[in-house]
Amino acid sequence: MRAQHPNVTRLVGYCYHLGHQCIKQKGEYVFAHVEERVLCFEYLQGGSLDNHISDESCGLDWPTRFKIVKGVCEGLNYLHNGCKDPIYHLDLKPANVLLDKNMFPKIGDFGLSRLFPLSQTYITSKIIGTPGYMPPEYIERREITSKYDVFSLGVIIVRVIAGDEGYSKCAYMSLEDFLEHVFKVYGG
């Protein structure tokens, strides 16, 4: 996967090792080839976004919140539209948004990601992703489109704006009540 963007974690190296291991197969010991692969990504001192948006630790000012949301949007736009083949992350959530020491966001953890040669709808039989960040069309019909990540992004934006408490309540709030809650909690 070749993704080079300021808002996507940078691969700095890798290791590939082919070794041998003695294993028992059908009652006999045989040597088997064992492949080991390790990817090394840049270190981001700020940790993950989920550590900064919980109600207990949320001390992010509005400019920082905006910078984080904008950066995640730009990174996701690059993955969907800036690569030769679109990359669907499929597990975008605050734990997979990493922050540097200046709170600059980078999308990471591409373990579930897939390359799609055309912007189409794909159907899968296997559920992947994190509950709460999966769109309804995926849950109901197993459809994978770029909208999967956009739905996840929307959930992240609500959590960044409203915090955990606001996020858990927002499903039952009208838009007016949600905005009133945000202004009450964070000023504005």
Asked whether the predicted pLDDT for residue 131 surpasses 70, the reply is yes
Q: Annotated catalytic, 91?
A: yes
Residue from 50, 61, 85, 91 carrying the catalytic annotation: 91
Question: Is residue 29, in this structure, part of any structural domain at all?
Answer: no
Question: Is residue 147, in this structure, part of any structural domain at all?
Answer: yes
Nearest one of 45, 105, 117, 112 to 76, comparing CA atoms: 105
pLDDT at 79: 92
What tokens does 118 get?
A: 């055309």
Question: pLDDT tens digit string along 64-75?
Answer: 999 999 999 999
Rounded Cα–Cα distance for residues 142 and 153 (Å): 19
Question: pLDDT tens digit string along 133-146?
Answer: 888 888 888 888 77
Strands 105-107 and 97-99, bridge-based pairing: antiparallel
pLDDT at 31: 87
Question: Is residue 34, in this structure, part of any structural domain at all?
Answer: no
Rounded Cα–Cα distance for residues 188 and 179 (Å): 10
pTM score of the predicted model: 0.78
Query: What percentage of the chain carries pLDDT values higher than 90?
Result: 31
Question: Is residue 31, in this structure, part of any structural domain at all?
Answer: no
